[in-house]
Structure formats: structure tokens, C-alpha cells
Structure 1
Amino acid sequence: MVVRVRGRALPHGEYVDLYADGDRWTTDPVRNVEAVVEGWLLPGLVDAHTHPGVEVPGEPLDDLMLRDHLRQHVDAGVTAIRSPGLAGEPPDWFGADPDLPRAWHAGPWLAQHGQFFDGWGRRVDHDEMAAVASAQAVRTGWVKIIGDWSSAGVPVPVDVLTGVVDAVHAVGGRVAVHTQQAGGGAAAVAAGVDSVEHGMLLEPELLTRMAEQGTALTPTLHGLQQVLPEVLRRDDSPGKRWFVEGARVHASLVAAAAEAGVRVLAGTDSLPHGRIMDEVRALAAAGMRPHDALAAASWDARAYLGLPGLEPGAPADAVVYAEDPRTDLDQLDHPIAVVLRGRLVRGGH
């Protein structure tokens, strides 16, 4: 099927008329067009923090569930995902199936002994972490470190994280770090990691350094906000106080990060899959401009993954809306068409 898309394209808002020539956009007419889609065009959405293929922490990766979760992403207009941590080695079709999103992943989570969910990830000694991380990055391009865990776990020391970053960067990979403690966040930023995942309780004075060194923030804001009411109902404990303190100020941290020039990436980290629009709305409600909240889930996130936007030669992904989603973020709930790898996988005519 040859697909043609035309309309106002974000981020610039100018009119474009593109043909899918295989998996590449071109302005040159392609014969035998079978589908023409018109509207407001985004170059495909991105969920930069999602763990498909499992629903209960500690359970193994389920291939059928993985495929179902990825279909839910596509239905929402998500044409690329980053999975910073998977419950198992993905099947060969992961990231390559023409009907499912492009995918980047970090393999199993790497954690300190005694931390993270039992049955998931790999526990690694400090003196082995750089070598293990480097080997993972050679295989998949990314590695994910559990920099701290819950309220009481001691964070990975900054010198260990620095060694990981140096080793992974030496082989051309990138490092994502889970952190929800101030100390863990400070260590991640000092080590120069590529992305901070969650970043709860991150000290605001670190944001300028993050922007300067190119460390992205994936705040998973909506997911944390969803959990907060349930945590508030729990009996008082140090863990409850830790989570409530961080979750209550997380929106203001996101706004400050955007203001400081930190690259913010939209990621859900929650069930059900295919709800990236909830994170975009949460980012906007926190104080990001709707344009920038959309960028975090589309063109800017794609650039972070090395994917150009709606231009000749770029991968042929697009999600199409009836109206400008910047003026009405609820448009994200109603894509009229999704084009993935040059194929119309939802809607159109």
C-alpha cells in the first residue's frame, strides 16, 4: 500500500505533502497511491519509558502479552518506544514487526544486591557493574541501572556510576538510571548519565547541569500521580512519607526542568499501555507549554532516538489528527490515522 499524507505538520506548522516510498518519506509523487490522509500531522508518538510484555513485577516476559501491549501503543499513535528494562530477552520480531512500534531497549535492569524486584533484572557487584553494563550496551545500545530503590536503599555510588557511563559511552551506548531519591539523583547527574528515569526528589539546583551535559529527564509524572492517592491511604511509615514528599512536588520539578532547558521525555511506566496522551496532558498541567509537552512525546523524543521528523528521507511514521492537538490535547485520544513504516495501520481511507 502506498500512503500519502498532507496537511499542517508539527513542530513547524507548515503544509507538507508526503508520499511513503517504502519506509521513507518523499515529496516526489509515488505511483499507485492507495490511501490519502489529511489533517494535522505529527511524526509519530513515542513512549520513552514503557515495560511491555508483563503486568506483575517479577513475572517473566510473555510474548503474547508483549504483542498485545505493543498493539495498544500503535492504536494510540505510538510508532516508537524505548523500554529501559525488560522482564526477559525479547523475541526477534520486537522492534521489527511491521505492524508494531520501532523499539529501543536496555535488556534486563542492573541493580545492586538486595534491591529491585525479585525475579527481574540482574544483581551485580560494584566492581563488575561497568563491564556488565558495557557488554549489555554492545548488544542493545542502552543499559538501565537501578540507581536507588525505595526510601531506604543506599544509592549506587557516584564513582561506580561514573565508571558505568565511561564504559558504556566507550562502546557507543547510553545509560538510563532509575532514581527516586535525592542522593541517587545527584549521583546520576554527577556521573553524566544520558537519562534520569522518574527523578523523584531530584534537587532543582541540578537541572542546569543536566541541561548543559544533555541528561534527559523522563519523569513518568502521570504514573506517579496515579499512585499517590492509594499511598495516602496507607498507614504512616518512612516509605509513605518519602513517596508523598516526592510525588507532591514532582509536577513543579518537571516545570522547572523544562524552564531550565532540560530535555523532558514522555513515558508512561504504567498500565494500561497505549496511554501516552495521559502523560502529555500531565506535563502540560505541570506547566509545560502544550507545544513542548507534545514534543516530549513526538518530534523531540524521536530526535533523541535518532529519528528525523516529517521530512524527505525520514522514516515513514505519522499520526494524524482532525485539529491542531496543541490547542486541544484531547485530540490525542482520537487519531484519525496512524502510519507506521510507510503502512497505514489505523484509520484513513
Structure 2
Amino acid sequence: MVIRVRGWALPHGEHVDLYADGDRWTTDPVPGVAPVAEGWLVPGLVDAHTHPGAEAPGEALDDELLRAHLRQHVRAGVAVIRSPGLAGEPPPWFGTDPDVPRAWHAGPWLVQHGQFFDGWGRRVEHAELPAVAAAQAARTGWAKVVADWGVDDAPVPADVLTAVVEAVRAVGGRLAVHTQHAAGGAAAVVAGVDSVEHGMCLDPDLLHDMAARGTALTPTLSAITSTLATVVDKPEGPRKRWYVDGATAHAPLTAAAAEAGVLVLAGTDSAPHGRVADEVLALAAAGVHPHTALAAASWAARAYLGLPGLEPGAPADAAVYAEDPRTDLRALSHPEAVILRGRLVHRS
């Protein structure tokens, strides 16, 4: 079934008339096909850090819940997700069925012994980490290492992460690294990982190195800062001081990263799913330029994953809005229509 959309396509804002007969956009007109949606067209949104399929840390991956979470993403205009860590091996339909977003994933988190959530992740010795990460990346394109965890935990050393990066790149993959402490963040940047996830407590002096190396930052800003008010009321101690200091500095750090030329990606890392618009608003509130904040959840994130936007031959994804979201980012929360793989999958 041929569908048609027309309107002002972002990021350039030029008027376009697009058709899809299957999963590719074309400008070749098809007589007699009326538009299914008109307005401001945004390349299908991307949540670059989400862990669907489980309600709480440590729980097993639930296929029914996974599909429900993914549908929440779709209703929010999300056509693509990246899951840097899953509670289990996803089913074959993950990322491919017509009603769920395209998906990149890194399999289970790769973690040090004695760290991370019980029941989640794969505990790996340092000597084995490069080979294990490379095997995962060879299967799914990505691997994910948790470089640091508790306040008193030792991070993965920089030389180990460097060896992991080399092994993953040798099989054509990419490496995401969780870090929320200064030492782990420094090790990740020195190693030249592909993406730093969270990046709380990252030394701002490292941002220019990140930009030069092409290391992206997924700050999960809304998730981190929304927890701050709760943590402030907790008893004093090292863990509270670490979180309050890191979360308080995280918004300025994110804005400084964008200013330094680091590619910032929008990722929610939180439930309920389908909240990428909240992350875009948090980025803008932190001082990231609104155009850059929107790009972090759309065309820039898609390009990072190898997906073009609204152009002939590109995958047929789009979110359609009544108003220009560049003028008011709050419009992102209310898509008029969502196109996924050349199909109208949601209408307001």
C-alpha cells in the first residue's frame, strides 16, 4: 500500500512531497494517493538509550512487556531505539516487526564481578573482556561495558578498555560504555570508545578529546536530574555526595559537551517508555541549542546509526507535527501521525 506525506521537512525546513511503497521514501508521484498526514515532518525519532522489556532492575526479559514498551516508543514518534544493555536475548521479532521500532542492541551488559544489578549482566574477567565484547559486537553490532559502578568500586582500567575497543572494532562493531564516575569516564575517553553512556562526573577537560575522537555522549539527562530531588533528602554519606555533586553538574556538562563539538544523543534510560520528548526538553533547558537538542533525537542520531532522514531512498520513517517543533520543542510530545517502515502506525 502506497502512503504519502507532505509538509516542511526537517532539518532544512523545505517543503517536500514524499511517497512510500514499502520501506523507502521516494519523490516519484503516485496518481490518486492522498496524503495520510501533512505538517512539519521530522525523521523518525530515536531513543538512543533505553532498556525495554523489564519493569525493574534484575528482572528477566519479558516478551509481552517488551512489545508493550516498544509500542509506547512508537506512539511517541520513536522509529529507532538503541538498547545498550538488555535483560536477556531479545526475540527474533525485536527490531523487525512492523509495529515496533528499528533496533540496535548490545546484548547483556558486560560487568566486573561484584558490581551492577543482581540478575542482570554478564560477569567477565578483564583478560576475557575483549574477546567476549568482540563476540557480542560481531552478532549485534554493539557491545556494552559497565566501566564503573559503586562509589568504592574500582573502574575498568583504561588499558583493558583500549583492548576492548580494538577487539570490537576488528569485527566491525562499536562499543558503548556506562560511566558515572570521573575515573571510569577518563578511562573511556582515553580508550576512544564509541559512546559514553550517562557520563556523570566526567572531567570537562576531556570533552575536546571526545569530540576529536568522535566519541558520542548519551547523557540521559532527564533521568539523572529527575532523581536529584529524591537523593537530596537522603542521609549524608559518600554515595549521596557523589550523586548530588555529579547530577548537579550534569546539565552544564552536557551543554559544554555540545558546545565542544561532541555528538550528543538523546536517551531516556527510564520508565515509562516513550519519553524522548522529555529528554529533548531537558537538553534544551540545560543550554543545548534547541536545534541541536532536536537533532539529538532525530536526524543526528539516525546518521550516527547509519540511517538517512527524509530523502529519496531513505527508510520510510517520519513523525508529523501540526507546529514546527524547532519553534516550540514541546510539540514533540504530540505527534499528529507516526510513519514507520512506510506504514501509518499511529495517528493522534
TM-score by length of 2: 0.99
Aligned to 1:168: 168
Task: Determine if the alignment matches structure 1 residue 139 to structure 2 residue 123.
Answer: no
Residues 218 and 265 in structure 2, CA contact (< 8 A), matched pair in contact too? yes
Residue ranges of structure 1 left out of the alignment (5+ in a row): none
Corresponding residue pairs, total: 348
* Post-superposition offset of 1:35: 4.5
Distance 1:341 1:32, change over 3 A: farther
* Post-superposition offset of 1:32: 5.6
Output aligned runs, 1:117-196, within 5 Å. 117-196=117-196
Partner Cα distance (1:3, 1:330) in 2 = 27
Letter paired with 1:341: R
Residues 7 and 40 in structure 1, CA contact (< 8 A), matched pair in contact too? yes
Partner Cα distance (1:95, 1:125) in 2 = 31
Partner Cα distance (1:230, 1:151) in 2 = 18
Output aligned runs, 1:57-136, within 5 Å. 57-136=57-136
Partner Cα distance (2:240, 2:31) in 1 = 61
Partner Cα distance (1:31, 1:53) in 2 = 42
* Post-superposition offset of 1:55: 1.2
Task: Determine if the alignment matches structure 1 residue 329 to structure 2 residue 336.
Answer: no
* Post-superposition offset of 1:226: 1.1
Matched residue of 1:244: which SS?
helix
Residues 182 and 201 in structure 2, CA contact (< 8 A), matched pair in contact too? yes
Letter paired with 1:181: H
Partner Cα distance (1:173, 1:42) in 2 = 28
Output aligned runs, 1:260-279, within 5 Å. 260-279=260-279
Letter paired with 2:81: I
Aligned to 2:243: 243
TM-score by length of 1: 0.98
Deviations 1:33-55 (A, max 9, x none): 36431100001100000000001
Superposed CA RMSD in Å reads 0.9
Deviations 1:114-156 (A, max 9, x none): 1111110100000000000000001110000000002221100
Letter paired with 1:279: E
Residues 207 and 262 in structure 1, CA contact (< 8 A), matched pair in contact too? yes
Letter paired with 2:141: G
Partner Cα distance (1:7, 1:152) in 2 = 54
Aligned to 1:2: 2
Residues 148 and 178 in structure 2, CA contact (< 8 A), matched pair in contact too? yes
Partner Cα distance (1:117, 1:152) in 2 = 16
Matched residue of 2:160: which SS?
helix
Letter paired with 2:26: T
Deviations 1:268-293 (A, max 9, x none): 00010000000000000000111110
Residues 150 and 180 in structure 1, CA contact (< 8 A), matched pair in contact too? no
Aligned to 1:45: 45
Partner Cα distance (2:234, 2:249) in 1 = 19
Aligned to 1:344: 344
Residues 2 and 34 in structure 1, CA contact (< 8 A), matched pair in contact too? no
* Post-superposition offset of 1:258: 0.4
Partner Cα distance (1:32, 1:48) in 2 = 38
Partner Cα distance (1:113, 1:30) in 2 = 59
Partner Cα distance (1:31, 1:96) in 2 = 30
Matched residue of 1:269: which SS?
coil
Aligned to 1:205: 205
Partner Cα distance (1:158, 1:346) in 2 = 45
Matched residue of 2:245: which SS?
helix
Aligned to 1:309: 309
Partner Cα distance (1:191, 1:45) in 2 = 30
Residues 196 and 217 in structure 1, CA contact (< 8 A), matched pair in contact too? yes
Aligned to 2:27: 27
Partner Cα distance (2:30, 2:106) in 1 = 37
Letter paired with 2:131: A
